[in-house]
Structures are given as C-alpha cells and as structure tokens.
Amino acid sequence: MAPINLVLIGFGNVGRALARMLVAKEAELRQVYGLEFRLTGVLTRAHGLAIASEGLPIEDLVRGVEAGGRLDEFGRTKPLAQLDQNLRLAQAQVMVEVTPLNPRTGEPALTHVLTALEAGVHVVTANKGPLVYGYKTLRDLAAQNHLHFLFESTVLDGAPVFSLFRETLPAARLLGFRGVLNSTTNFILGELEAGKDLEQAVRAAQALGIAETDPSADVDGWDAAIKVAALATVLMDSPILPSQVKREGIRGITPAMAREARGAGRPIKLVCRARRTASGGLEASVGPESLPWGDPLASVSGTSSVIHFEIDMLEGLTLIEHNPGPQTTAYGLLADLIHATRNPAG
C-alpha cells in the first residue's frame, strides 16, 4: 500500500506523543494493518511550519521542538498563507487537529476541520470545539464528501466512547450518562482531602502538567460542561452548548468539607450528568456531589476518569480510564487514524 500522507495541526505534548507513537508502531502498522503513514506537514503557531510532500523526519522534528528549535528548517517546501493551500502542498490525505481548545467559540479548530473536509481530507481531532460548535455541519459535510471525521480523543482520551456506540452497540439508545470527566478537578479534590487548600492543590496540579496557568476552565466546571455538550450532541442527538449546561465548579469545596465527606465514606466528585426527559428534552449539569462508595464514580482517584451509561438495551455500562496522559490521548488519535484509512467512509 502506498504511504498515507498525514498533516498535523499543532505539535504540543499530544501531537509529539502521536509522532513518537507512529515511529514506535511503524512495523506493526505495516505488517498487521497494511498501513504506512508519512508525515508531510506540521503546522503550529509557536514552532513554525514545515512541509515536505516526500516526508518529514519525525524523530528529528520531535527532538528539535523539545530542544526549543523551530520546524521551518525541516521543510523542503515553503508553506503558504492559507490552510487549504498548505494541505495541497503537503498532498495531505488525513489531517490531525490537536490545537488548544477555545471553549467559547471552538475556533480556530472549527475552521481547521471545515477547511480540511472541504479540501477532501479526512479529519481526526482531539479538540472538543468542533463537536460542540459545528458537529452537524461537519458530520454532514464529511458524509457528502465520503470522508471520515473522527474524534475519539475528545472525551476520556484514548478510551473507546464514541466508537463504542458507533461500532459495537447497534440499535442501542443512550438514555443518559453520569461521569467524572475532568481529571484535573478529580486530582484537586484528592489534594483537598489531604489537607491542602485550593491554591496549593492547583499548584500541585500545575506541577504535574495537568492544569493550565489559568485553572478556571477546570475549577469552574467549564471543561466538564464542554464534555457534557459534546457527548449529548453526538451520542444523544441533542445539540447543547456549554452555556446551557447547569454548572457549578469546586471553588466552594473546602479541605474540611472534602475530608469530612471522605471520612463518612461519601467522597466529593465533580459529576457530569445528562439525561433525556419524559417530554423528549435534555437535562444536563455539572456540579460537586457526595457519592457513596458503592457508586462506580466514587472509586476513581488521582487523574482517572469514569463514565456510566444508561442504555435502553443494557441496565448500565461503565468505562474507567486510569491516570491518562498525552500518550493516552495520542492512542485515541492513532485508533481513529487506523479506522479512517482502512475503512471506506459513508
């Protein structure tokens, strides 16, 4: 099989983890799946752009960026101003979009995905913005152009959530879900239980690299609300914006409250919920709850995440992801890449 040309938009921790994975899995991808991926473009804001339709040296790119260098020196073709032009220069067949999330508009990821699909390029993304702010348009455009638009890594990193319903639960209707979907707040709540105040707990999360310099998106529940919106939009066919999710963060939880709840066998978790109503509507919320130990959501600790599905065909189904990192997210991207390039699009 001829090499499949791949372009990365974004080359942060997750993008570099995927690049390393492509190298580590190269022989297996070729021998087991008959696939060979050729990285022909990497486009970033912070590190410059590199395009070479004959292929870029992946390991050199990763080392160079991690040493503080720029990508420009690796490209043999001078990039142009517009994304669609650069996709053509790179002779892209698949684009992987891993830029940072803009929770208010989904941009620029939304435009990146739209541009690639209009250009006849399959899209794999870890960015929730395009799902929340443009899913139906992007889904329909992909189908119209016989392309894949895949996004497994947007929720629960590499755990199979969207593909679980798409591929393995035919004729099943999702009635609702509950989950602990923001690993940063889960870690912070554990630090509060240990006696740290919120500021100290946030600093510990930042030291681990799981919290941003401005932690408000996690602490105030916005990241969790975006994940609720993405799941409801895709899996329940109930489009909802993050601003429409009833939301409460964890700023009101004190160390004393966290310790007391843990001691009583009812630890506090930031719980995401969505459920169909009797009238056919949707109720969606994010907020701290004190859960009994028998609840599957109560057992996750550290940076682990969990989601429990209520399905008309099953009494319940729970997925737990243990302490994910950039490599976990990268695996979700790799799984989507394999699916997109081995299976015909609808």
Distance between CA atoms of residues 89 and 114, nearest Å? 18
Burial class (CB in 10 A: 0-12, 13-18, 19+), 8: buried
| Cα–Cα distance, 248 to 252 (Å, whole number) | 9
Cα distance between residue 172 and residue 313, in whole Å? 6
d(CA 268, CA 292): 9
**DSSP class of 38:** E
* CB of 123 closer than 8 Å to CB of 97: yes
Nearest to 95 by CA among 60, 59, 71, 119: 119
What angle is formed at CA 103 by the lines to CA 62 and CA 72, rounded to 5 degrees? 25
Give Cα separations from 13 to 20, 139, 300 (angstroms). Answer: 11, 27, 24
Cβ–Cβ under 8 Å, residues 193 and 121: no
> Is the dihedral angle over the CA atoms 161, 164, 167, 172 positive or is it negative?
negative
Q: Which residues are catalytic?
A: 227
What angle separates helix 13-24 from helix 26-33, to the nearest 10 degrees? 60
Task: Please give the Cα distance from 270 to 219 (Å, whole number).
Answer: 10
